[in-house]
Structure 1
Amino acid sequence: MNSTRKYYEKNSKTYFDATYSIPVNLYSPFLKYIPEGGLIIDIGCGSGRDSKYFYEHGYIVEALDESTALCKIVKENIRIKVINKSIQDWKPEKLYDGIWACASFLHLNIEDLSSAFGKLKKCITEEGVIFVSVKSEIETGYQDDGRYYINFTEDLLEDILHQNQELHLEELWYTKDNMDRNDFKWMNFILKKL
């Protein structure tokens, strides 16, 4: 088990309590692309906060997370399909109208990022979108708590798109942190198939 996963296994309740009620202002830019009642997968669902929002707004939702402890919490709070796998081990079996990856891809290294996007482009519908929110202006590497983070830049995104030419950048914007952490910004983007 990698140290990032160990962190979430050990701190699942604390993480849930800290993140479940954080207001998120990122839903509208994503949902404008999703048909009413569309199928969404929440990759790296964490506390299940976003999955719950989508479910309560009439979307069909599946959630994916590597942490067994977090998957258990999500199953206790929302009646949706929860898949306990890493993005690397997940084998998609259907096409999604929307893929939501909020604060999850920031734990992947460069090699895993490229293969993750390669996988995602194959499991969205023709009009489907991929939403990603990652940290920028941080140090790449392991934090004191054992979690790995990658500093996401526009150059890195350009490299990923170069390797996955079936995808194009639809929108890109930056936001401040909703937990009042001022040492980084969130880089948010939406990708579509060409």
Structure 2
Amino acid sequence: MTDTNKYYEDHAEEFYQSTVEVDMSPIYQRFLPLIPEGGAILDAGCGSGRDSLYFKTNGYEVTAMDASEALCKLSGELLVQDVHCMGFEDMAWEDSFDGVWACASLLHVSRDNLPSIMNKFSRSLKAGGVLYASFKYGDTEREQGGRAFTDMNEELFDQLLKSTPSLELIESWVTVDRRVDRDESWLNVVVANS
């Protein structure tokens, strides 16, 4: 088990409580118009299940996954459905989803491993499908509080996309953290699969 995974196993309830009520509607409003009505969405690194619940409640077909068994249990109870307990490297879906939602989850993947994971996401998407991802804004790889983080800025994300030619940037924008007790900036990106 990686240190980051261990962090989520040890702090699952605390993480769940601190994130499940966060209002992500401004981000949903940029992602969901790109998904067909009732389309299939993979919530990749679903954490508390907050976003999956919103998508499901609004008529989308949701597949949720997380690498933490404890968070899979909590999010599964919230969603009243099974959550796939697996890491990104274990994904084998092909041509399955209209959208992939990777909110604050890819940021735990090392910079060296991001190209292969992005290619897995690309394979999991249908032609024309879209991927949303968010990263803490910056240019470092670091460990903080028992978790590994790969920060991202526009230039680094452009470099990453060059390693995944099937994905094309639709838009990127910077936001502040949606949690009231956090003073952090985030890079948000939406890319389309060819």
Q: Identify the residue that residue 12 of structure 1 maps to in structure 2.
A: 12
Aligned partners of 1:159, 1:137: CA distance in 2, in Å? 14
Q: Does 1:39 align with 2:71?
A: no
Q: Identify the residue that residue 99 of structure 2 maps to in structure 1.
A: 98
Determine if contact 2:111/2:141 at 8 Å carries over to the other structure.
no
Matches within 5 A, 1:1-194: 1-24=1-24, 25-92=26-93, 94-137=95-138, 139-143=140-144, 145-180=145-180, 181-182=182-183, 184-194=184-194
The 3 A distance-change label for structure 1 pair 138 and 93 is closer
TM-score (norm 1): 0.95
Aligned partners of 2:178, 2:156: CA distance in 1, in Å? 24
Runs of 5+ consecutive residues of structure 1 not aligned to the other structure: none
- What do residues 77-134 of structure 1 show as CA deviations (whole Å, max 9, x unaligned)? 1133411000012221551000000000111101221111011111111121000111
- What do residues 129-173 of structure 1 show as CA deviations (whole Å, max 9, x unaligned)? 000111113742111x21000111112111111111111100111
Aligned partners of 2:58, 2:178: CA distance in 1, in Å? 22
Letter in 1 for 2:50: R
Letter in 1 for 2:18: A
Runs of 5+ consecutive residues of structure 2 not aligned to the other structure: none
Determine if contact 1:62/1:80 at 8 Å carries over to the other structure.
no
Aligned partners of 2:123, 2:91: CA distance in 1, in Å? 13
Aligned partners of 1:93, 1:128: CA distance in 2, in Å? 12
Percent identity of paired positions between Structure 1 and Structure 2: 38
Determine if contact 2:46/2:64 at 8 Å carries over to the other structure.
yes
TM-score (norm 2): 0.95
Aligned Cα root-mean-square deviation (Å): 1.3
Aligned partners of 2:139, 2:146: CA distance in 1, in Å? 15
Determine if contact 1:88/1:112 at 8 Å carries over to the other structure.
no
Give the total of aligned pairs: 192
- What do residues 21-74 of structure 1 show as CA deviations (whole Å, max 9, x unaligned)? 011121011000111110000000000000000000000001110000000011
Classify the secondary structure of the residue corresponding to 1:32.
Answer: helix
Classify the secondary structure of the residue corresponding to 2:88.
Answer: coil
The 3 A distance-change label for structure 1 pair 155 and 138 is closer
Q: CA deviation at 1:193?
A: 2.2
Classify the secondary structure of the residue corresponding to 1:118.
Answer: helix
Determine if contact 2:110/2:141 at 8 Å carries over to the other structure.
no
Determine if contact 1:61/1:81 at 8 Å carries over to the other structure.
no
Classify the secondary structure of the residue corresponding to 2:48.
Answer: coil
Classify the secondary structure of the residue corresponding to 1:71.
Answer: helix
